[in-house]
């Protein structure tokens, strides 16, 4: 039997038992989807030019045909005028209720931030305990030379961490 015959026999056996290749299953799944719509026609340069009075409507993007559609730029009805002086800028008047709403929002944000901070502090603390206990159990179950190796690495790591802590303290305290 040739290699081609073996491949065809394996394919026939797969199909008999209901096993399909992933590529065949993907082809069947894609065949179930409708065909994609054709791409929209690209607008000509004349359609994209913005006039001062009316914005053109590109029919592909408009909900209603002939409705003025703003593509970009300021609103033609209310053109933007730059304030001449800082005193010309009007600040919205604050009422008691708007201040109360702002205070309530600030309270909400502070409560959420505090809750997240507490959650993550507790989460990292529990993770530290878990890793420490797993390390202790692992250290307890290993043989003598491995215990020596783990002890030397742990002592070296603690010494490096302590020196790093001292350097950070010096940087923060500006000594």
pLDDT tens, residue order, the chain (175 aa): 677 888 788 777 766 666 666 667 677 777 887 777 777 776 555 554 444 445 555 555 555 444 444 555 555 556 566 666 666 666 667 788 888 888 999 999 999 999 999 999 999 999 999 998 998 888 888 888 988 998 899 999 999 999 999 999 988 886 5
d(CA 130, CA 26): 43
Report residue 63 as tokens: 């909900």
What b/e sequence results for 51-64 when a residue is b if at least 16 CB atoms lie within 10 Å of its CB, and e otherwise? Answer: eeeebbbbeeeeee
CA 92 to chain centre: 35
Nearest CA to 151 among 167, 138, 164?
138
Neighbouring C-beta atoms of residue 127, cutoff 10 Å: 10
């Amino acid at each position: 039997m040739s290699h081609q015959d073996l491949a065809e026999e394996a394919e026939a056996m797969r199909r008999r038992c209901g096993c399909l290749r992933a590529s065949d299953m993907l082809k069947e799944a894609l065949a179930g989807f409708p065909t994609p719509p054709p791409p929209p026609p690209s607008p000509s340069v004349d359609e994209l030019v913005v006039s001062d009075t009316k914005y053109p409507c590109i029919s592909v993007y408009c909900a209603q045909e002939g409705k003025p559609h703003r593509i970009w730029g300021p609103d033609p009805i209310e053109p933007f005028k730059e304030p001449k002086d800082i005193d010309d800028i009007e600040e919205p008047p604050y009422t008691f209720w708007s201040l109360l709403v702002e205070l309530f929002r600030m309270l909400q944000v502070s409560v959420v931030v505090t809750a997240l901070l507490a959650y993550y502090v507790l989460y990292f603390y529990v993770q530290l305990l878990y890793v420490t206990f797993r390390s202790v159990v692992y250290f307890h179950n290993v043989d003598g030379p491995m215990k020596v190796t783990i002890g030397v690495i742990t002592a070296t790591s603690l010494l490096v961490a302590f020196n790093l802590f001292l350097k950070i303290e010096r940087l923060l305290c500006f000594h």
